[in-house]
Structure 1
Amino acid sequence: MDIGINVAHFAYSFAIALGFTNVIIIGQDSAFNESGKSHADVSNFTFRDEEKVQHEAVKLDVLAYGKMGFVQTNIEWDEFRKRLEVLFLSHPSVNFYNATEGGAFIDYTIEIPFKEVLSLCKDKKQDYIFPNTLSLNRQNKLLKKTLILLQEDYLELNTLSQKAKNILEILQNQKEPINEHALNIIFEFNELLDKASILQSFMYKPLFYHSRGFFNVSLYQDPQDALVKYIDFLKIFLEITSLSLESMENSINKYKNILKL
């Protein structure tokens, strides 16, 4: 199952996997409102000034909900919207109802008010049994399990990052444009990246695949420039992993504080 690049994409993929034919979308603005704000404040989860970060990203104008004019979004939200559209287009048998009633227009959805879509989809009333609250002991076990997974991911990504730094230093000191020794170093590192479990996610894999693509094309079309292209890739890789490692480290510390470790 496609886990998506975030919780929203995963939720829709999960609903599809469970066999639901009606999926209601709500709160997917993917755009700024008239006062320049959007979404709930998620700074507590991202450990950064989220509003500042979103406004620093490249902005664009896109079609608004209901195709009524245009709204301003940023490049990250626009990519989020496009990937949603690919997911929805890929499942024509599922009705995706966009009940956000604002924000950016999302293609391959049926735009409808939330109250109206609930009336449309309601069935006979069912009794729901709410699950019991998790005991404190069970909560701690789950938190510890999550912490262990985070620490394992951090260790793997940090190892790759350190390796990339060493390779970058070697390649930047390379006097010849490209040679067999440099190629061996590059191909060995590429193999490590391909096998790294943390880089198999929907978020990392396409990003680094396309970045490395410039090197692969250059290697056959313009070998003299191939080294420069791979150095550029390593710089991108290090910048992204640095941000990821910082976020993961903050998360690890938060979990440790909660668990009093």
Structure 2
Amino acid sequence: LYQRFNLNDFGYIDTGTHVSHFSYTLALALGFKNIIMIGQDLAFDEEGNSHSKGFVLGERIDHTLNLPTLQVPAYASKGEVLTHITWNDYRIKLEYLFACNEQKAKFYNATEGGARINFTEELSFKECCEKLLTKEKPKFEFPKSLTKNRSDKLLVKFKEKIQKDQDNAKRFLDDALALKQILENILSKDFILPLEFLEKVYQNIENFNHSLDEDEFI
């Protein structure tokens, strides 16, 4: 999508379905080789709480959602823990992300509880720090901000592309509605229509289908 809007310089980051997915994808995009996650329980604790004490919406807020629950393997293979379908979906998507990028980075799960997340190494945060933080790294240099003039030019191009896509969408919709109306009229007739007319309708349908297959917008 970003390529379609001529925003190649900005790239693309897969946001996933929750903020953690985005965070790890951002870490990958920044080139980090070791990524530590913490607080990724994705399960109820032993008291049945969904969040930590002091959470602004309450420790048991997820119980009000009435989501179906299930048992999944626990962190460090310590039996099973109770989770719900949304958390489980988060976990599965994270595992897919980690599996697809295991050649690019090493993922550490320092949560020390909750559900087990495959394709990660389970270590405490202390152990992660002792293992990985052995030397000082150079500070990350933030990219320069766009000038106002550059920002305005990009915005104009973006709006032009959006307008063009809207025009194309309307054209396709109008063509589809016109064909629909013609076909409905044909089906409603109780007499034989001229072959030449039917061939023309057939050709219009073929042209429309070809546009669906070949048009850049679609």
1:78 equivalent to 2:116? Answer no
CA contact under 8 A between 1:29 and 1:39: conserved in structure 2?
no
Report whether the alignment pairs 1:109 with 2:120.
yes
Structure 1 vs Structure 2: percent identity of aligned residues? Answer: 43
Structure 2 CA distance for partners of 1:39 and 1:19, relative to 1, 3 Å? same
Partner of 2:129: 118
Instruction: Name 2:107's counterpart in structure 1.
Output: 96
Find the counterpart in structure 1 of residue 14 from structure 2.
Answer: 2
Distance 1:72 1:180, change over 3 A: farther
Structure 1, residues 21-40: CA drift from partner, whole Å, max 9, x if none?
A: 10001000000111100224
Opposite residue 118 of structure 2, the aligned amino acid is D
Question: C-alpha distance in 2, partners of 1:61/1:127?
Answer: 44
**Contact (CA 8 Å) 1:59, 1:73: kept in 2 or not?**
yes
Query: Which of 15, 32, 43 in structure 1 is aligned with 2:57?
Result: 43
1:115 counterpart letter in structure 2: K
| Residue 42 of structure 1, CA deviation | 5.0
Deviation at 1:126, TM superposition (A): 6.1
Relative to 1, partners in 2 of residues 1:13 and 1:180: Cα closer, same or farther, differing over 3 Å?
Answer: farther
Q: In the aligned structure 1, how far is the partner of 2:25 from the partner of 2:56?
A: 23
Contact 1:29/1:38 (<8 A) preserved: no
Q: Answer yes or no: is 1:64 the counterpart of 2:78.
A: no
Counterparts in 2 of 1:79 and 1:125: CA distance versus 1, 3 Å: same
Q: What letter matches 1:116 in structure 2?
A: E
The match for 2:43 is: 31
Change (3 A) 1:13 1:126: closer
Hey, what's the Cα distance between the residues in 1 that align with 2:56 and 2:76? 27
Q: CA RMSD in A?
A: 2.7
Q: Which has the larger radius of gyration?
A: 2
Q: Structure 2: how far apart are the matches of 1:37 and 1:16?
A: 32
Partners of 1:73 and 1:96 in 2: CA distance: 22
AA aligned opposite 1:83:
K
TM-superposition CA deviations, 1:29-62 (whole Å, max 9, x none) = 0001111002242539xxxx833334x1101000
More helix by share: 1
1:67 is displaced (CA, Å) by: 1.1
Q: 1:92 to 1:58 in 2, by over 3 A?
A: same
How big is each residue's C-alpha offset from its partner over 1:86-134, in whole Å with a ceiling of 9 and x where there is no partner? 00000012100000000001000000111001111103246979xxxxx
Equivalence map 1:178-257=2 (5 Å): none
> 1:114–1:58: structure 2 CA closer, same or farther, 3 Å change rule?
same
List runs of 5+ in structure 2 lacking aligned partners: 1-12, 141-182, 186-218
Q: 3-state DSSP class of the match of 1:37?
A: coil
Q: Secondary structure at the match of 1:87?
A: helix
Report the secondary structure of 1:32's partner residue: coil
Work out the CA distance in 2 between the residues paired with 1:42 and 1:58: 24
- TM-superposed CA distance for 1:83, in Å, is 0.4
Is 1:42–1:50's contact at 8 Å kept on the other side of the alignment? no
Find the aligned partners of 2:108 and 2:48 in 1 and give their Cα distance.
26
Q: Give the Cα separation in 2 of the matches to 1:89 and 1:61.
A: 22
- Cα distance, 1:38–1:50 mapped onto 2, change above 3 Å: closer
TM-score (norm 1): 0.45
Distance in structure 1 (CA, Å) of the matches to 2:138 and 2:90: 36
